């Protein structure tokens, strides 16, 4: 019996997929992926993600990634709000702070992130959060508001995990957990995530699981490989792959259920 998965984070708009987007979706379906959350990183990208979600029967986000914060138009909140009227668009994001690459000035990142947190709170929708080397500042923004959502591609330490869980966020685990070089700390923290807060995501086409064998010639990740993340997470947690996949599916459906939104 085939295990069914939900991929809680896919960059299906990536130009890496331009020549075979239909094939990527087909392979995901064949691998048991029943739904995906298609990530938006700026207004144009969010619009494209919504269109793809509508086309393929998935869901999507709408937001401004911290890398894109410096280029956000003045009316970006209105544009996100309009996209959230679409049934496919279930979260604000990808938004947050990235002090690792600093592609946008930190002050602008914080302003754009805060506006999106406020929008999510006012519209009562979840947030799809990005945080890299910026835990202290994101924590400061979060404690001044009250939102629900997921910390996407969690790679932080135990203190960060404790805060995000106490705050009420879900935790997204990617192929980072399959990397024996830089993922050791994450591997030690995965068992501490409560069953009702775990989400599995590929962040494809990025973060190809290092444990995947054989690896694709393209060296590019895709949703069909989410089983490799599930295998590693199940091993670390002492649970079956089917159980971990079902936990993630149930959590995904609970977090991104728009039926209560007016």
Coil/strand/helix, residue 35: strand
Helix residue ranges per DSSP H, the chain: 21-30, 43-56, 76-83, 106-123, 135-142, 158-167, 184-189, 226-237, 241-255
CA–CA dist 91, 88 (Å, integer): 9
Domain span including residue 21: 5-255
Element (H, E) at 210: none
Average pLDDT over every residue of 55-82: 97
The CATH code of the domain that includes 141 is 3.20.20.140
pLDDT at 190 over 80: yes
258: alpha, beta or left, given left = phi > 0 and alpha = psi -120 to 50? alpha
CA–CA dist 78, 74 (Å, integer): 9
Q: What is the pLDDT of residues 6-45, one digit of tens each?
A: 999 999 999 999 989 999 999 999 999 999 999 999 999 9
Residue 82 falls inside a structural domain: yes
**pTM for this entry:** 0.95
Residue 192 falls inside a structural domain: yes
Average pLDDT over every residue of 47-57: 97
Domain count across the chain: 1
Average pLDDT over every residue of 65-70: 97
Residue 141 falls inside a structural domain: yes
Confidence category of residue 217, pLDDT binned at 50, 70, 90: confident
Average pLDDT over every residue of 194-213: 96
User: The dihedral of CA 201, 59, 140, 262: what is its sign?
Assistant: negative
Residue 214 falls inside a structural domain: yes
Residue 262 falls inside a structural domain: no
CA–CA dist 46, 62 (Å, integer): 5
Q: What is the pLDDT of residues 139-165, one digit of tens each?
A: 999 999 999 999 999 999 999 999 999
Question: HSE on the CB side for 30, CA within 13 Å?
Answer: 7
Residue 37 falls inside a structural domain: yes
pLDDT value of position 258 = 66
Describe the crossing of helices 76-83 and 43-56 by its angle, rounded to 10 degrees: 10
Q: How far is CA 226 from the centre of its chain?
A: 13
CA–CA dist 116, 63 (Å, integer): 7
Mean pLDDT, the chain, rounded, equals 95
Contact 131, 40 (CB under 8 A): no
Name the phi and psi angles at 136, rounded to 5.
Answer: -60, -45
pLDDT value of position 1 = 80
Q: Which residue has the tokens 């330490």?
A: 157
Residue 260 falls inside a structural domain: no
Residue 39 falls inside a structural domain: yes
């Amino acid at each position: 019996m085939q295990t069914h998965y939900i991929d809680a984070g896919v960059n299906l708009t990536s130009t890496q997929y331009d020549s075979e987007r239909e094939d990527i979706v087909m392979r995901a379906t064949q691998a048991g992926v029943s739904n995906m959350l298609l990530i938006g990183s700026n207004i144009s990208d969010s619009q494209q993600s919504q269109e793809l979600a509508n086309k393929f029967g998935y869901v999507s986000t709408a937001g401004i990634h911290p890398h894109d914060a410096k280029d956000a138009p003045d009316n970006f909140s209105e544009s996100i709000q309009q996209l959230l009227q679409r049934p496919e668009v279930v979260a604000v994001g990808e938004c947050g702070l990235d002090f690792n690459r600093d592609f946008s000035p930190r002050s602008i990142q914080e302003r754009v992130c805060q506006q999106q947190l406020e929008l999510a709170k006012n519209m009562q929708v979840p947030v799809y959060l990005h945080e890299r080397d910026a835990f202290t500042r994101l924590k400061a923004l979060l404690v001044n508001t009250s939102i629900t959502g997921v910390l996407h591609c969690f790679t932080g330490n135990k203190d960060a995990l404790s805060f995000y869980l106490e705050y009420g966020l879900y935790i997204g685990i990617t192929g980072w957990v399959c990397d024996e070089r830089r993922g050791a700390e994450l591997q030690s923290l995965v068992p501490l995530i409560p069953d009702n807060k775990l989400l599995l995501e590929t962040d494809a086409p990025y973060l190809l699981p290092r444990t995947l064998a054989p690896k694709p010639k393209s060296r590019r990740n895709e949703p069909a490989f989410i089983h490799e993340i599930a295998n590693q997470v199940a091993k670390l947690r002492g649970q079956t792959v089917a159980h971990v996949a079902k936990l993630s599916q149930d959590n995904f459906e609970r977090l991104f259920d728009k039926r209560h939104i007016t």
